[in-house]
Structures are given as structure tokens and as C-alpha cells.
Amino acid sequence: GNSVTQMEGPVTLSEEAFLTINCTYTATGYPSLFWYVQYPGEGLQLLLKATKADDKGSNKGFEATYRKETTSFHLEKGSVQVSDSAVYFCALRLIQGAQKLVFGQGTRLTINP
């Protein structure tokens, strides 16, 4: 089946630290890959996306590269800020069928000043 696995949280870092949140996927075919962010009390917002192998998505200092050979889409940021504290979801989107997003379980990130 199709699934997404994210690193276990919660993750707590100090401001200006380097961030990596691991994400691997299993899918039939070649999905599009996404990172969504959920700030406290809000809905999900798209952070970045990649639609084919070796594509790099980037936004707000975050980056992730679609690695087909390792079926991964790890999220990175060089220097995190307190305002990055949120829950991050990795997701894939299938080409056929239900047009649904298949989500990982989410990783809660807390950045301390």
C-alpha cells in the first residue's frame, strides 16, 4: 500500500540550530511529495512540494529533495527560529484515483529561544 513514515517527535531545538525531519514513503508509481505545516490552532498550510525525482522544493528557508532511489523527502532548515514551532506533516499525492493526500503521523517541533 501507499504510506508515509516520519521521524518520531517531539523534536526540541534551540534557536539557530540545524533542523532535519526525516520522511520516507512507499508508493505505487511516482507520487508528488509535500510538506505541510500546522501552526497552533490553525489548519494545514503547504510549506513546499516536489513533483518528480530530484526536484527540490523550498520555501521560508526550508528545503526538501525528492529522492527516488531512497524513497525519501527529508525536510531541512539551516537555522530555525522560534516562529518555526509547529507540527510538520510529510505527505504524498497519488496520480490516479482518489486525489487524496496520504499523510505521515506528523512531527511536533518546538524551538526554544
Partner 1 sequence: EAQVTQNPRYLITVTGKKLTVTCSQNMNHEYMSWYRQDPGLGLRQIYYSMNVEVTDKGDVPEGYKVSRKEKRNFPLILESPSPNQTSLYFCASNPGSTTDTQYFGPGTRLTVL
Binding interface with partner 1 (CB under 8 A) = 4, 32, 36, 42-46, 49, 51, 89, 93-95, 98-101, 103-106
Q: Which is nearer to partner 1, 13 or 44 (CB)?
A: 44
In whole angstroms, the minimum distance from the beta carbon of 78 to partner 1 comes to 25
4/86 with CB nearer partner 1: 4
72 forms beta bridges with 24, 67
- Residues near 80 by Cβ (< 8 Å), separated by ≥ 6? 13, 15, 16, 17, 18, 19, 109, 111
Cβ proximity to partner 1, 17 vs 52, nearer residue: 52
Q: List, in sequence order, every residue forming a beta bridge with 63; answer none if it has no partner.
A: 58, 76
